[in-house]
Structures are given as C-alpha cells and as structure tokens.
Amino acid sequence: MDFTLSPEIESLRLKVRAFVSEHVIPLESQASAYDAHENLNEAAVAELRRLAKAQGLWAFQMPHTLGGLEVGVQGMAALYEEAARSPFGPLAFHCAAPDDGNMILLNKILKTDAEKQRWLVPLINGEVRSAFAMTEPEGGCGSDPSLTYTRAEKHGDVWRINGRKWFITGAEGAQTFILIARTSNEDRRQLTAFLFDAQQPGWRIERRIPIMGPEEHGGHCELVFENLEIPDQNRLLNVGDGLKVTQIRLGTARLTHCMRWLGLAKRCMEIAAEYTRERMSFGIPLAQHEGVQWMLGDVAKNIHTGRLLTMHAAWKLDQGDFARKEISMAKIHVADTLHQAADTAIQLCGAKGYSRDTLLEWIYRYARQARLVDGASEIHKMVLSRAYLEEGADFFRWGC
Ligand SMILES: Cc1cc2nc3c(=O)[nH]c(=O)nc-3n(C[C@H](O)[C@H](O)[C@H](O)COP(=O)(O)OP(=O)(O)OC[C@H]3O[C@@H](n4cnc5c(N)ncnc54)[C@H](O)[C@@H]3O)c2cc1C
C-alpha cells in the first residue's frame, strides 16, 4: 500500500495543524479555559467549535449528506493524529471519544432517514452528547461480555431494562444513550442493543466515578436501571445482535483512539525535543548525549511502528474488511507507545516534566487508561493468539 496522502487530505491536514497551533494550543496554558475535571470548559469548547465549523473543519468521519467531510478511515488517521497534537483538538473538530465512536456506529446501522434525523443528526451537529453503556460492576460484563446481567425483558412493544452499568464515559449531561443488555441465554445471541433518551424515566446516575486522569466531558459514571422502558422501535439491529453492534462500534473506535494517541505521543516528543535542545548538561545540550538520543530514538521508532499499524488497519477498514487482528495489534502497541512517550518526555524534561508547567503530567495520567479502555491489552493479545492458532502460517500472509 502507498502511504502518500491525497492532495485533498494533505491540504486538510495542514489546515488542522494550523488551527491547533493558532486556536487550541494557546488554551492549554490558560487556567480560565478549564473545567473542574481538567478538560476544556463548555464556553471554550463552544468557541473552538464555532471557529472549526467556520473553517469547514467539522466531522471528518461523517458523510457529506449529513454535514461531514467523509474522508474515509485513512483520511481520518491523518487528520485525527494532527487534531490530537493537543488533547483538546479532537473536541474542536468533533472527533473525540465517545461521540466519535457512537456517531460512526449509528451512521453504519441506522436504516431509515427518519432514524438518522432523530438520533444521529443532532449528535453530528454537536447539539447533544452521547454515551455507550456496556461495562458492568460486580461480576458483570467487563472483558467478558457473556457475563452481562443487565436484562431487557419484552412486554408487548416495550423492553423493560433492569441492571447496572459503570465507567460510562460522558453519561452526565449526555442526551443519547446506546445500551447493551441481555435478552437471552443463547450462545453469541445473548445481547441486544438499544437507544434511549436521557429524559426517559427508569434510570439514574448513581455516581461520577473519580479516576486518576483528566476526564472527558460528562465523566465516567455508574448507572442504575430500574424498569427503564424502551420501545421496540428503538432497538438497534435484530434481537440477539448486541455483540455484533459492539464489534461494529469498537472496531473503528479502537482505531480512532490509536489515531489520537499517536498525535499525543508525537506532542510528548515535541516537548522533550524542545527542552533537550536548549538545556545544557556537562558542556553540551542534553540532546547531544547518546543516552538521551537512545531514549528519543526509541520513542520515535515506536510511534512510526504505531502509525504503520494504524494506517494499515485503516486501509483494511476502507476495503470493507473488519481488520480485527490489525486493530488489536495497533491498540496494544499504540497504548504502550503513548505511555512510553509521556514517561520518556517527563524523564527528559527533568523536574519541569513532573510539574504542571508542561502538558506532560496531564498526558501521563491520561495515558494509563489506554491499556484498559475498549479492551485491555491482554484481551487483544488473546484475540491475536486465537487467530494465530487458527490460521497458522496464514496469519502472516501478504497481500491483505
Ligand atoms: C477511562 C475509562 C473509560 C471507559 N469508558 C467506557 C464506556 O464509555 N462504556 C463502557 O461500556 N465501558 C467503558 N469502560 C470500561 C472498559 O471498556 C473496561 O474497563 C474494559 O473492557 C475492561 O473491563 P474491566 O475493567 O471490567 O476489566 P476485567 O474484565 O475485570 O479485567 C481486569 C484485568 O484482568 C485482565 N484480564 C481479563 N481477562 C483476561 C484474560 N482472558 N486473559 C488475560 N488477562 C485478562 C486484564 O489485565 C484486565 O485489565 C471504560 C474504562 C475506563 C478505564
């Protein structure tokens, strides 16, 4: 495959880069631009979005017919990475999690125009936020979805939901929820996916779970369902297709995480390079010490490997393939690389790296979730091992 970007994507990439430099990075050092959860406050996000929309830099992942730029997954890989040169860039262009993954899913599986207008268009326009509720506390769904205990029982034309979910990103203040619940005990057909609105009675946010890193808007919440009623018409795909819905969502969403994490990892290098070029140690700049070069060189190599894995998986998705193995490899590698990049940059910036005078400590705390969200690294290794044992030498075949 050829990694050259088309002239259209390259031109968009340069615009995104200029936008992030001009409008987003200056906000990082303004205390007044932050909310109580170390994210940008609503006013700052609204202004960034107004500017991004005015420049035509909005919703790269959505179809033209619904107001997006429809750049394809490879185009997204180039643009999301550039957007995430600042952790707040993806919010500006509307390619941040979890709305990004939810929009991609709904665009793929909602069938009628009326359904898209009802659930998807307000989300694309940025009028509402969304959440995806699957993981459960206390013995329920985590790495193993077959443990799901939140049940949906059918009464006439209505599904009644009872159970509990947790770590649901963005739940506080979200309008549109995608919920995965158990509808049967039939193997691989146990789960079904539903849509519901925040205003529907029968569910509540028990708590916003405190975490070690900065938070996405709406936090990571624990939800309780007590007889939430969802009309059958708000079911996604068929009864028993919940796992399929999850796979459709998580496939691309895992890869878009990688695209953004690569942007953040590159930013860590940028900060470390600036410091080590200037800071003197034993008569020469830090960057001229071989030990420092090995550290920076190793991160550079791992970022490049992550970009190849991510772009290859993106290319496969653009060919209509599910790219399961490729996405798992990218997810494992890029999560580790983001962590390594932040850690190395902190080390190279010395005490300053550990301070809040740079963005590095923010990125370091945020990076720890990368090895857990959307499947722990061990689960992705399990997926790869299973595929290898099944395919043997074919696992490494060329041409696909
Ligand atoms: C910041 C954050 C945001 C999240 N947002 C959402 C969200 O919006 N919606 C949502 O539904 N969920 C969300 N999650 C949950 C996330 O998807 C789960 O944390 C993840 O799937 C792992 O499940 P678990 O935490 O229950 O880990 P468990 O299943 O309890 O596993 C614990 C650990 O055991 C190991 N392990 C598990 N199984 C195996 C195995 N077979 N082999 C080897 N090792 C294994 C892994 O190291 C794993 O990390 C979020 C989590 C975090 C941290």
- pLDDT tens track for 265-275: 999 999 999 99
3-state secondary structure of 203: strand
| Same domain membership, residue 323 and residue 390 | yes
Extract the runs of DSSP E, i.e. beta strands, from the chain: 130-133, 151-155, 158-169, 176-182, 191-197, 203-208, 220-231, 235-236, 280-281, 284-285
Percent of the chain, pLDDT > 90? 98
| Same domain membership, residue 229 and residue 137 | yes
Determine which helix (DSSP H) or strand (DSSP E) holds 102, and give its type and residue range. Answer: helix 99-109
**What is the distance in A from the centroid of ligand 1 to the CA of 102?**
19
| Same domain membership, residue 115 and residue 20 | yes
Domain with 204 in it: 130-240
Which atom of ligand 1 is least distant from the CA of 98? 8
Q: Which pair of structure tokens corresponds to residue 375? A: 């499947």
How far is the C-alpha of 398 from the C-alpha of 375, rounded, in Å? 27
For residue 284, being part of any structural domain is answered with yes
Give the pLDDT score at 400. 66
| Same domain membership, residue 257 and residue 182 | no
For residue 2, being part of any structural domain is answered with no
Q: Of 249, 252, 250, 299, nearest to 271 (Cα)?
A: 299
Looking at the structure of the chain, the number of domains it has is: 3
Half-sphere exposure of 210 (CA within 13 A, CB side): 1
Which atom of ligand 1 is least distant from the CA of 213? 1
Percent of the chain, pLDDT > 70? 100
For residue 137, being part of any structural domain is answered with yes
* Pocket lined around ligand 1, Cβ cut-off 6 Å: 98, 132-135, 142-143, 167-169, 211, 220, 369, 372-376, 378-379, 382
Which residue's alpha carbon is nearest to atom 40 within ligand 1?
A: 379
40-61, pLDDT tens digit by residue? Answer: 999 999 999 999 999 999 999 9
Q: What is the mean pLDDT of the chain?
A: 97
CATH of the domain at 162: 2.40.110.10
| Same domain membership, residue 111 and residue 141 | no
| Same domain membership, residue 389 and residue 259 | yes
| Same domain membership, residue 366 and residue 345 | yes
For residue 172, being part of any structural domain is answered with yes
Q: Give the residue, out of 129, 132, 135, with the most ligand 1 atoms within 8 A of its beta carbon, to mutate for a pocket test.
A: 135
Q: What is the mean pLDDT of each run of 10 residues along the chain (400 residues)?
A: 94 98 98 97 98 98 98 98 98 98 97 97 98 96 97 98 98 98 94 98 98 97 98 98 95 96 98 98 98 98 98 96 96 98 98 97 98 98 98 90
Q: Of 107, 229, 134, 255, nearest to 190 (Cα)?
A: 134
For residue 1, being part of any structural domain is answered with no
| Same domain membership, residue 150 and residue 103 | no
